[in-house]
Chain A
Amino acid sequence: MTAAANAIKINMNEYINAAKEALSMSFIQRALISGIMLGIFSGIISVFIVLRRISFLGSGISHAAFGGVAIGFVTGINPIFTALAYSILTAIGIEQISAKGKVSEDTAIGIFFASSMALGIVLIGLSTSYNVDLHGYLFGSILAITHSDMTATIAMSLILTTVIILITKELHFITFNEELAYSSGIRVRLIKFIFITSMAIAIVTGIKLVGVILVSALLVIPGATANLITNSLFKMIIASSFITLFSIISGISISYLFNLAPGGTIVLIMSACFAAAYFLRKRY
């Protein structure tokens, strides 16, 4: 065996030991479990976000959530709750305004997006206490997930995954054509409300993991990748969840081993999956 190979072997052993050690640490366990739970759920809704062509709404709400986080900082309420309420209201506001037809949806999103960020910046400037974890909300703090964060993520993911699976048939039809779904008696507004609310919850949960700036990637890239590989809704859902899980698990591991930013690593792995699917897909 050559010296180089030996060196690699030693290196590998080091990493395996490091990984073993990491897995026994409870903060890594919490990060992985939360990541896996969120990953299953966001993988599913990513499919519908991509198919409904509302990726931009997803990133608009993620950034708007920053305004909600800032409200939490200023009022002293848990920023996750204010972000959640703020995101849901923003999502509904965007839908309402664009439904009126006077302002197009992308314009409405652009306006909410920017003004919420602006509100966030002003509020954070106002708040005197600088002990707030602004950095954590912007870039994620997956390794600082507490036990109660994890429990909340598990509960949220189980409930919402069930809800979305139960309304998959309706979502599929609405995504296909909203007016047709309406005319056949589907309760379009109710289903859209459930979907948008679920999306907002996923965004706010995702903020903990990868931060405001990157969370929209979780909602867009896996669905878009899945849409490149298959033409079946069921397979798309499976593929999208798988890509999300793979990126989250490998992202957390790699970032820990090489001391990289976890949020960025997760999203880069997702992007690599997308690029691979894009270049390797069968060309008919």
Chain B
Amino acid sequence: MNAPTHLSRRGLLKAGGFIALGFSLAGPEVFAQQAGNPALLGDLRQFPRISSWLRINADKSVTLLVGKVELGQGILTAVVQLCADELDVDIRRISVLSGDTALVPNEGTTAGSFSMPNCGTAVRQVSAEARALLVGLAAQKLGVDAGVLRVADGAVIAPDGRSTSYWDLVTGKELEVEATGKAPMKVAGERRYIGRDVPRLDIPAKVVGAPIYVQDHRPAGMVHGRVVRPPSARARLASLDTAAVEAMPGVIKVVRDGSFIGVVAKREEQALAAASKLSQAAKWDVKGGGPTSETIYDWLQTAPAKDIPIKDQKRTDAKPVAASLERVYRRPYQMHGSIGPSAAVATFAADGGSVAIQTHSQSVFETSEAIRKMLGLAEGKVRCQHMQGSGCYGHNGADDVAADAALLARAVPGTPVRVQWSRRDEHRYEPYGSAMVMKAKADLDADGNVLDWTFDLWSSSHGVRPSGNPGNLLAAHYLEKPFAQPTPVNGGGPNYAADRNAIALYEFPGHKVTTHFVAEMPVRSSSTRGLGAYANIFAIESFIDELAAMAKADPVEYRLRFLKDARARDVVTKAAERFGWATWQRKEGHGRGFAFARYKNLAAYTAIAMEVRVDRSTGEIRVLRAVAANDSGEIVSPDGVANQIEGGLIQSLSWTLKEGVRFDAEGAVSSGDWESYPILTFEEVPAIEVVHVNRPGAPFLGTGEASQGPAGAALANAVADACGARLRDLPFTPARVMAGLKA
């Protein structure tokens, strides 16, 4: 167990997800702790006991227990870097256990770019606390002052050469104490891993096909389940004859509970065949009369809404208004569209009293509670264990498929049931990013400077995560005793939801922002990367460009007139410099665009400059290159940050150029595959350069959603610059470009 490569391999497989541990725990000890010591950082404040986060194992390894989970964003590698540095151990000794509701601190949902601020910060501090504690124990043991001891890879060494080690010092309950908040953390020069690129721990397993995803989890005796969904979400089952399906080869069970129907079969092909037959046998009552993907924008602006003023700063000067501009921008429903459809494996205990579920949920704790209530099980009887899934960009089908698997597994107690959604169901039934309408208005002085800025947005929900409520689980809507979808509310400040980034970071004399939140959901919508930020930034940063054009000002210079935050100005300047904004030479058909935002107005700062070419004869847009300057505070992993910024930028280009969910008045979604809902491909992806602005010592700022908004807006601005067509309706299809050229 001391060969480092062996440890690292173990580490990466554990980092891939849950692992059955050799030790048992009476209960989640992490629940009963004294929370609230203000000296403690991030989630450590809530779970101050060191042993909740760290185990020093007899085999000379270290186990880190975290409630945040790996979504492909590299978070588990980043927390291992932090732990290795602060604890002073070789990185290969550390393995991570994440997202098991029975074992790890409840850090809530892994979302909103909170992982580094809440979990990373906690891991860093708890590791420093553990180091201080262990050095103290070593000092007693060696009879010297703690201050003279040094630590090298877990060995604690006195000046005279005598030593002990973490593995000798921890024999029992030594770490079962609360962190004090007093342990010193390392400064830049003392670190080996933080700020350097450490290869991600999970990638080797992924390239050789090791079983690292929940989709690959196939326990012995497992069978396959499939759910048959209605033609549209509002439809309910009218009739169903199951006899023919029951007689099919391999079919173990046909499950029907109200309008929830599914099959369990021995082989996966058999489950698929049975589900397709079941789908033909099912007759549904559909319900029309709703808005369509075309009428949704009018519907949003006329549906009953809660009007929430989120900023109302009155102008105090008396400068005369020389001109005004008002513009409306629209965003359709857009998908997460993970490449691997959602999957889960559920196993009911033989007595039917409890269930264990392997899931790629972002919110294992709240989801297990919602499923427990749906199933009517006693408290603590649903255990969720996180395993990685395919790319997760928000509240996708992960929780719903976990509920599906639990409902099907209930019909065959003692047998693990694996459910994976079909591509068609993933496309039609994942909760989308909400359609939105944004209206921006500005009153200007004689120089074209903003005097009054007014921004209104209309949106339905960006947050119906399970939150312990079964009504937020898709399957629960269809049961014989259904659970109703709870009325969604809009998340307020400082993070906001529909209105995330609706308050421009620019300083205008008058500034008013109003959210019009529509609770009704014609199609289900929930957290999708960035929530409202993508659409709001798209609108704000398009509008500011339109104002710059009116003022005949350079778009970068015009932004800097109103941008006072020094770090914001820095990324704007750096992106412009690296792009070569000042020296850029226009080529036929080419254009350049710029955009900036600080995600949530409190996370990473990102400015993007982009060059495009527009073909006036076809309306096709080609994105040629993009430069993103980014400030995420202190950088733990430069390549990890670059990967997030690039990935977000490319995904945003895909949204902006191509994506919009289509549905009819019954709510039936016709964007059911990659042909009807295409995404960006290799030949369309531009060269991307990420410029890091590192701030050693500054707090970690979340990065995962930072580039989404600026990328879409920079593209809109570049297209306008290239051909004069100002596109305000997403996505920018060739037809829209052609229409824009004629306008």
Q: Please indicate whether A and B come from the same complex rather than being unrelated chains.
A: no
**Could you list which residues of chain A lie within 8 angstroms of chain B, going by C-beta atoms?**
none
**Could you list which residues of chain B lie within 8 angstroms of chain A, going by C-beta atoms?**
none
